Chains A and B, each alone.
Chain A
Amino acid sequence: AQTVTQSQPEMSVQEAETVTLSCTYDTSESDYYLFWYKQPPSRQMILVIRQEAYKQQNATENRFSVNFQKAAKSFSLKISDSQLGDAAMYFCAYRLGGANSKLTFGKGITLSVRP
């Protein structure tokens, strides 16, 4: 079975600074997708960034980028120029390749941003 591990329950960052959130996963599959979701206090799940396992290039979305290390099964999220609105829970998630199927989530990490 696939598992996703987020070992840091909480992190804090100074506004305008950079923070990295860690995630590791375990799978025997070669075709899969990885995601980072943001959940603010409103509880809405918001997709931040996705990575296809077959792509070597790390995904980037504005201030958000990932460091995807396939051999190490590591998928960290870097947030640059942190803003107060980035404060939220962040979930790392995995799903098998192919047709849209279930997401397996990590336990999440609470990110606070200090003004």
Chain B
Amino acid sequence: DARVTQTPRHKVTEMGQEVTMRCQPILGHNTVFWYRQTMMQGLELLAYFRNRAPLDDSGMPKDRFSAEMPDATLATLKIQPSEPRDSAVYFCASGPALGVGSNEQFFGPGTRLTVL
């Protein structure tokens, strides 16, 4: 049963600490997305990659956030330093760029981040 996995599922940290969230996309999916969900802003795109190259990171605060794909099986989202306003649920999603299944993005279970 192919699915997107995310770790950790929950993270509580103190302001100023570094946070790293990891995502393993579905094998064979070459497009990976990071979304953030908050009560105020709803669901919004932070960044996405195709074939490991960033295509759009305009939704990501550049001063403290960074997103990478070290290889095709791992995407990371880092926040350094973290702030209370970063508290949210962070979703990773993956999908093929074209062809069968490209009309869908498969979401991971999310990482709930709380910054105190």
Contacts and interface: CB of A to CB of B under 8 A. Distances in A.
Contact of A45 (B44, B45, B96, B107): B107
Interface in A26-72: 33, 42-47, 50, 52
Greatest chain B CB density within 10 A among A33, A102, A108 is at A102
Interface residues of B, number: 26
A52 B103 CA distance: 9
A16 interface: no
A114 B98 CA distance: 41
Contact of A99 (B89, B91, B98, B104): B98
B98 A44 contact: no
A47 B104 contact: yes
Interface in A77-115: 91, 99-108
Interface string A6-30: 0000000000000000000000000
Given A50-B104, A102-B33, A91 B43 contact: yes
A102 B109 contact: no
Range, interface on chain A: 20 to 34
A108 B97 contact: no
A45 B103 contact: no
Interface in B57-116: 89, 91, 93, 95-98, 102-105, 107, 109-110, 112
A4 B93 CA distance: 20
Nearest to A6: B42
Contacts of A102: 33, 45, 48, 56
A91 B91 CA distance: 15
A105 B109 contact: no
Interface of A: 33, 42-47, 50, 52, 91, 99-108
Interface of B: 31, 33, 35, 42-45, 48, 50, 55-56, 89, 91, 93, 95-98, 102-105, 107, 109-110, 112
